[in-house]
Chain A
Amino acid sequence: MAQVILLGAWPSPYVYRVIWALKLKGVDYEYVEEDVLNKSDRLLKYNPVHKKVPVLVHAGKPIAESAVILEYIEETWPQNPLLPKDPHERALARFWTKFGEDKNPALFGFFFTEGEQQVKATNERQEQLRILEEQGLGDKKFFGGDEIGMADLEFGWLAWWLEVLSEVAGVKVIEAESFPRLYAWIQRFKEFPTIKETLPDRSAMLTHCKARRARFLALAKS
């Protein structure tokens, strides 16, 4: 079997999307941790255009950009599909995946701000979450329907990273009263066996996120 290598950097949610996809499909891979502040020759060779993680290397050929990697994984290892068969349903899955890509910065914004700016970022975030709650997820078990799909992996960071970021920033985000469906989805996603085994260590993340927020706020003040 051709070798599969994943270049990643803890605790990037973009990297975790790829890890989840590989694990859900039972694909064996070697994980290589990259230091993004001191990029290896290997990373620069495999992703010369963006110089970022994640990069999947399969039989020596690199694929970069997490959304592109997920489509590659889906086509190369079709078991436990992440996309539905019906073309219109597939289009919807891709639509929501793109929505996540475009709106994730808006969802993150509250973490890198304080005071009035944070209030504004929070309001924007609430609006996007409302769309996800009512139109993205609706009454489905997962964004993908009855099973975890591509869009679930895109929003997976809401299930874990958001909680940690919220604690660090002192902002309550997804609560059962305000977003009952998203809240229920988060519990289901976190508890799903393959996902549960793979979530980054919470206390390590708390330390990491506290440091990042402090750095960002210091930079903003200077």
Chain B
Amino acid sequence: MEEVKLFGAWPSPYGYRVIWALELKGVKYEYIEEDLSNKSDLLLQYNPIHKKIPVLVHNGKPISESHVILEYIEETWPGNPLLPSLEDPHGRASARFWTKFIDDKALPFAMLLMTDGEELEKAAKEVREILKILEEQGLGEKDFFGGNEIGLADLAMGLIASSFGVIEELAGVKVLNGDEFPGLCNWVKKFKENPAIKKNLPDPDQMFVYYKQKREMLINSRAALSYK
């Protein structure tokens, strides 16, 4: 019998990517919520190098790093594929390219949460540029980054559909708007409509409380640092 465990920490978008992949493929798993301020011995044992979530443990063997986990899930449970077939290596490369793209751009998104004033304006500008590239070159005319169906790149972009709106609200900015980004807004709608995704989205009100607290803490600690 197969044993699949997922160590995550709500509402981490990296954790959610893995949840969505497992749910889309109908893989049964046990979810274990980690307290990142008090990491369990199990987490430290399964991910000794980075000590982070998500970690997937399959029949006792751990895999860490979200995109590595997603490739593992795709190879181990090939039903409902998240990558184009091996007959289309360029399509597969494209999915990996866009996954890496959004992963490399984590900082500007984080800055939206962590800053105010001039720094926030700068972060919003950077995020707008990123969204523009996604709209025009990533998505293009397609419904999903993966084409007609949700794929790996869509899961990587998932934060734009789940937490981004809340972070925008807290920062008092509106970057993702329907006029500038009709494709992306359509993508958000279709992504959230998918039954497996819909059942597994973080609650917006709970996210608001969580990110509000985080934002205040981060802004205060950055202010404190700047006085050194």
User: Which residues of A are in contact with B by a Cβ distance under 8 Å?
Assistant: 48-49, 58, 61, 63-65, 67-69, 71-72, 75-76, 87-88, 90-91, 94-95, 98-99, 131, 135
Contacts A64-B97, A95-B63 given; indicate if A72 touches B72 (C-beta within 8 A).
no
* Contact sample, A vs B, 11 pairs, CB 8 Å cutoff: A58-B90, A63-B90, A71-B96, A76-B89, A87-B72, A87-B75, A88-B72, A91-B68, A94-B67, A98-B65, A131-B49
Once bound together, how far apart are the Cα atoms of A76 and B58, in whole Å?
28
Q: For residues 59 through 105 of chain B, which have their beta carbon under 8 Å from a beta carbon of chain A?
A: 61, 63-65, 67-69, 71-72, 75-76, 86, 89-90, 92-93, 96-97, 100-101
Chain B binding site: helix, strand, loop or mixed by DSSP? helix
Give the most central of A61, A69, A88, A135: most B CB within 10 Å: A88
- Chain B residues with Cβ under 8 A from A76's Cβ? 89
Min Cβ gap A67→B in Å is 7
Contacts A65-B100, A88-B58 given; indicate if A98 touches B67 (C-beta within 8 A).
yes
Which bracket fits the contact residues of B? 20 to 34
Tell whether, in the assembled complex, residue A63 and residue B93 are in contact, meaning their CB atoms are under 8 Å apart: yes
- Chain B residues with Cβ under 8 A from A98's Cβ? 65, 67-68
Residue of A nearest to B75 (CB): A87
Tell whether, in the assembled complex, residue B49 and residue A94 are in contact, meaning their CB atoms are under 8 Å apart: no
Tell whether, in the assembled complex, residue B49 and residue A99 are in contact, meaning their CB atoms are under 8 Å apart: yes
Tell whether, in the assembled complex, residue A68 and residue B97 are in contact, meaning their CB atoms are under 8 Å apart: yes
Tell whether, in the assembled complex, residue B92 and residue A94 are in contact, meaning their CB atoms are under 8 Å apart: no
Contacts A72-B90, A75-B86 given; indicate if A91 touches B100 (C-beta within 8 A).
no
- Chain A residues with Cβ under 8 A from B49's Cβ? 99, 131, 135
> B32 within 8 Å of A by Cβ?
no
Once bound together, how far apart are the Cα atoms of A63 and B96, in whole Å?
10
- Chain A residues with Cβ under 8 A from B76's Cβ? 87
> B137 within 8 Å of A by Cβ?
yes
Tell whether, in the assembled complex, residue A49 and residue B65 are in contact, meaning their CB atoms are under 8 Å apart: no
Min Cβ gap A15→B in Å is 17
- Chain B residues with Cβ under 8 A from A72's Cβ? 89-90, 92-93
